[in-house]
Amino acid sequence: MQQSFPAGGRPPHQSPLQPFADQVHPDALAEVLAWRDDPELHSLHVKLRSHTERKPFFDTWAEAMVARHLRSRGCTVAFEVPTPHDRRADFAVQREGLRFCLHLKRIDTDRPAHRHLVVSSRLRVLERIRQPYVVQVRWHEGLTDDQMQLLVQQAEPFIQSGHVGDEMVARDHDGREIGGVRIVAPHSGQWGGGGSGEHVSVTIGLPEGFIDLSPRMRRLLRRAHEQFMPKTTNVIMLACNHDEDIRDFESALLGSHIERWDQFPPRGKRIAHGRAPDGFWHARRYADSAFAVWMKFAPREDSFTSRLYVRKELQPDEAVAALLRSLFECE
């Protein structure tokens, strides 16, 4: 017997945002569905309903979460505003007489890391090393305790004598690869791990190897810049999936971490650290870009966390900067 559906062709009780409705927060979903008759966000509602593939849907869902966030903080929002260069700014935002355009890009950083990794207590030894580094450690799944101890034994002298950007491969007694270590950045204490940055902070890499997303992020920053509205404050926002993605975002925006032998180190330090010239904001590059926002995007959550970056050497409008801090410094 053939099943009949109501006008519109959808089974009863099925959301118009299927097949993705059960992958987002229900309160956010209810609010977004109410935008069908909203004069500002109707077109965003229509765009969401048009997607049947995962990536474009969640790209647009990130836009919806940002629009919802801005509206909840008293902003008026216009979606996909044409620019004079045949592009579109994702949002034109106004509040208290101030205006800016927001350009949102999303990078899917769901690296294949959802598998369960058993973290050996032996790695705690590395955090006792008195070196101001963020160190990423990876290992193959199923290592024995003896193999993990061998990894730590090889990692210790490498970290003690290594420099930012260095990487090593650990091998067992038969020469088989069992893991690896990479010195990611100087440790200031700002990315977790505790402490003041005088000791190593250990983060976990994938068994398959280390992933640096900063080149992809840099390309997205350049694409967002192509959408800039002339004679307006423009803000780039990049949505990612994981807390640790902020390191790659900072490398893309500010430049990769390097050791600066041409400079004197700070008092009490042996090495001066700096940024390579590959950053989107290096020197006077893209001088019309003064604000950028990193966003942690989790579709099942009702809100997001973010961090605002201000290019102070450009002396941006302080009133706009204060507004952006109130909107995006959510940590």
pTM listed for this prediction: 0.72
Neighbours of 63 (CB within 10 A): 23
pLDDT class for 2, splitting at 50, 70, 90?
very low
Closest CA to 304 of 255, 246, 257: 246
- Do residue 36 and residue 170 come from a single domain? no
- Provide the number of structural domains found in the chain: 3
- Do residue 135 and residue 156 come from a single domain? yes
pLDDT class for 3, splitting at 50, 70, 90?
very low
- Do residue 166 and residue 33 come from a single domain? no
Nearest-10 Cα torsion for 292, 62, 75, 312: 0
- Do residue 173 and residue 45 come from a single domain? no
Residue 4, domain member (yes or no): no
The CA distances from residue 193 to 114, 167, 196, in Å, are 21, 20, 9
State residue 138's pLDDT score.
83
Closest CA to 305 of 241, 233, 252: 241
Residue 268, domain member (yes or no): no
DSSP symbols for 176-237: -EEEEEEEEEE--STTSSSSSSSS-EEEE-BTTB----HHHHHHHHHHHHTTPPTTS-EEEE
On the question of pLDDT at 291 being above 90, the answer is yes
- Do residue 198 and residue 220 come from a single domain? no
Neighbours of 156 (CB within 10 A): 16
State residue 141's pLDDT score.
78
What's the Rg (C-alpha) of the chain? 23
- Do residue 183 and residue 237 come from a single domain? no
Residue 317, domain member (yes or no): no
Residue 65, domain member (yes or no): no
Beta bridge partners, 103, equal 236
State residue 267's pLDDT score.
55
Averaged confidence pLDDT in the chain: 83
Residue 324, domain member (yes or no): no
Strands 133-139 and 98-106, sheet pairing: unpaired
Residue 5, domain member (yes or no): no
Task: Give the residue, 15 or 107, on which the prediction is more confident.
Answer: 107
DSSP symbols for 33-100: HGGGG-TTTHHHHHHHHH--SHHHHHHHHHHHHHHHHHHHTT-EEEEEEE-TTS-EEEEEEEETTEEE
- Do residue 200 and residue 129 come from a single domain? yes
- Do residue 230 and residue 167 come from a single domain? no
Contact assessment for residue 90 and residue 80, using Cβ atoms and an 8 Å cutoff:
yes
Question: What does the alpha-carbon distance between residue 137 and residue 113 come to, in Å, rounded to a whole number?
Answer: 14
Q: What tokens were used for 284?
A: 């006077």
Closest CA to 62 of 47, 42, 84: 47
Residue 233 is part of a domain; what is its CATH number?
A: 3.40.1350
Question: What does the alpha-carbon distance between residue 282 and residue 104 come to, in Å, rounded to a whole number?
Answer: 21
End-to-end CA distance of the chain: 56
- Do residue 164 and residue 185 come from a single domain? yes
- Do residue 135 and residue 195 come from a single domain? yes
- Do residue 102 and residue 221 come from a single domain? yes
Domain that holds residue 190: 121-204
- The mean-pLDDT minimum among 13-17, 37-41, 292-296 falls in 13-17
Residue 285, domain member (yes or no): yes
Q: What is the pLDDT of residues 177-215, one digit of tens each?
A: 888 888 877 776 544 444 456 788 887 766 655 666 888
Residue 188, domain member (yes or no): yes
State residue 39's pLDDT score.
92
What is the arithmetic mean of pLDDT over 244-267?
70
- Do residue 134 and residue 254 come from a single domain? no
For the ranges 19-23, 31-35, 190-194, the one whose mean pLDDT is highest: 31-35
